[in-house]
A and B are shown apart, each in its own frame.
Chain A
Amino acid sequence: MHFGRIDSKTASRPHGGFLGKYHPTGHWTPEEIERAFEALSNLPDALMLPSVQGIYRMHRSRDFPNPATSAPGVIVLYDSAFDGKRNISRILGHELAHQVFRDLSTRDFESYRTAVNWVNVGEDGQPPIWIARNKGSFVEEDGFSVPAEDFANNVEYFLFDRNTLRRVTGNADAWIAGHFGPKFKLSGDDK
C-alpha cells in the first residue's frame, strides 16, 4: 500500500479515471501521512488487504463533506478527512471494509446478505434491484441503498461503536464476529 496522488498511471484505470475526472487532485503533507499511518496502525490486520494498492489524496469530494471514497484497489482521502474532529482510523476502516466486501468469496458474500436480509429481485423486465430489510435496522441511513454500503457501515460500527451495532443490527454483529474472529478489534482494545 502506498500514499500517492491520482496521477496518469492511476487515472488510466477505470475508477482512477473517474476519480480524476470529478475530484480535484491534492497532495499529501508529511503530517497527513503520519496521521494516516497512525490511523492504519490502530486497525485490525484483517483490513490490511494486499488488494488495496494505494491511498490517494484529493481535495474535495463530489459529495462534500464526504471524507473518503473507495474504488477497487484505491482509497481516496479528501481535505475534509483531516478536519480536526474526524477520526481517520474510522474513515479508513470504513473504506477498507469496502475492499473486504469486494474480495469476499461468493459464499461469504451471500452468507452476509442472507444474515442481514438483503434480496435482489427483478422488476418488470429490468435489471434487478436490491430490497433491504426495514429502515430501522440500519446504523446509517445510506446503508439502505446497497449491501456494500451496509457492510462497510457495519464493520465500522463493529470496531468503533459496537453497542449501537448490536442494538440496531444484531445479525450483522454476529456475522462480523464469526467471520473475522476474536482478533478483529482495534489495537489496544481489549474489550
Chain B
Amino acid sequence: MTNVRFLLIFSLLMLTMCSSPSPNPDAGATAESKRITLASARAVVPGKTTTTGLALLLGPPSSIRQLEDGNRKIWTYLRKDDPATRRMYALVIHDSGLVKSVTWNVFEGEPETDVEYAKKALGSPRFERSEPKWTKGDTAPDEVYFFSKEARITIVLRKTLNQVDMIVWN
C-alpha cells in the first residue's frame, strides 16, 4: 500500500514537472550548487520533459550549444568536482522545446562502471548486446552496446577497459 501511495505521488510529481512549470524548492539552484545523480537525471523523460521541466529538475545548464542544423541544442551539465568533464547532457529540439535524448557519463569509482550493476540500476529491462560493425576507418570500434528497445536505453561499454562509459536514453 505504501508503495502504491509512493508511486501515485511520484507520478503526480513527474506529470507536473513534465508538463507545466510549478514552484519548486530547487528552482533557483544553479547547476554548480545542485548535485545531479543518475536517479535525478532519469526523471528527465525524452519526448515529454520540456526545457522548462529540465531546468526545474536539474537547475540551469552550465552551457547551451546550438548544433549546426539550427534546430537542435545541447544542454550541458558539467561535473561539480571536475568541470573539465560533463556529468550529463541533453539533446533538445528547439521548435518543440522538448528533450529528445539524455546522455549520462559514467566515471571511475562509480558503481555503474560495472555493466551488470548499471543494468540493475536502470530497472533491469531486457538488454540486447551488439557491437558496431567495423565498416570503415583504420581502427576497430571499441564500443559494445547493451540496448533495450522497450526502455529506449543504451548502455555503452568500452571493450578495452571493460567499463561502462555512458548511459543514453531517448
Residues of A within 8 A of B (CB): 15, 18, 51, 61, 63, 66, 68-72, 94-95, 98, 102-103, 105-107, 109-111, 113-115, 117, 119-128, 131, 134, 142, 145-146, 148-149, 152
Q: Which residues of B contact A152 (CB under 8 A)?
A: 139
Asked if B140 contacts A106 (CB within 8 A), the reply is no
Q: Among the listed A71, A109, A149, which residue makes an inter-chain contact with B158, where contact means beta carbons less than 8 Å apart?
A: A109
Asked if B140 contacts A18 (CB within 8 A), the reply is yes
Assembly CA distance A82 to B90 (angstroms): 46
Asked if B106 contacts A106 (CB within 8 A), the reply is yes
Within 8 A of A (CB), among B63-85: 65, 67-68, 74, 78, 82, 84-85
Asked if A110 contacts B168 (CB within 8 A), the reply is no
Q: Among the listed B101, B139, B160, which residue makes an inter-chain contact with A128, where contact means beta carbons less than 8 Å apart?
A: B101
Q: Among the listed B82, B89, B140, B152, which residue makes an inter-chain contact with A71, where contact means beta carbons less than 8 Å apart?
A: B140
Asked if A114 contacts B85 (CB within 8 A), the reply is yes
Asked if A145 contacts B137 (CB within 8 A), the reply is yes
**Nearest CB of chain B from residue A87's CB, rounded to whole Å:** 16
Asked if B91 contacts A149 (CB within 8 A), the reply is no
Assembly CA distance A115 to B159 (angstroms): 23
Q: Which residues of B contact A51 (CB under 8 A)?
A: 160
Within 8 A of A (CB), among B123-158: 130, 132, 134, 136-142, 145, 147, 149, 152, 154, 156, 158
Assembly CA distance A128 to B85 (angstroms): 19
Asked if B108 contacts A119 (CB within 8 A), the reply is no
Asked if A106 contacts B161 (CB within 8 A), the reply is yes
Asked if B154 contacts A122 (CB within 8 A), the reply is yes
Chain B, residues 24-45, CB within 8 Å of chain A (1/0): the string is 0000000000000000000000
A contacts with B: majority SS: mixed
Asked if B105 contacts A95 (CB within 8 A), the reply is no
**Nearest CB of chain B from residue A154's CB, rounded to whole Å:** 14
| Besides A106-B165, A148-B137, A152-B139, 4 other A-B contacts (C-beta < 8 A) | A103-B160, A105-B108, A128-B170, A145-B137
Residue among B78, B100, B139, B169 with the highest chain A CB neighbour number at 10 A: B139
**Nearest CB of chain B from residue A185's CB, rounded to whole Å:** 23
Asked if B86 contacts A102 (CB within 8 A), the reply is no
Asked if B156 contacts A120 (CB within 8 A), the reply is yes
User: Is there a chain A Cβ closer than 8 Å to B46's Cβ?
Assistant: yes
User: Is there a chain A Cβ closer than 8 Å to B117's Cβ?
Assistant: no
Asked if B84 contacts A149 (CB within 8 A), the reply is no
Asked if A109 contacts B165 (CB within 8 A), the reply is yes
User: Is there a chain A Cβ closer than 8 Å to B166's Cβ?
Assistant: yes
Q: Which residues of A contact B137 (CB under 8 A)?
A: 142, 145-146, 148-149
The answer to whether A121 and B107 touch (CB under 8 A), given A18-B140, A72-B160, is no
User: Is there a chain A Cβ closer than 8 Å to B52's Cβ?
Assistant: no
Asked if A123 contacts B101 (CB within 8 A), the reply is yes
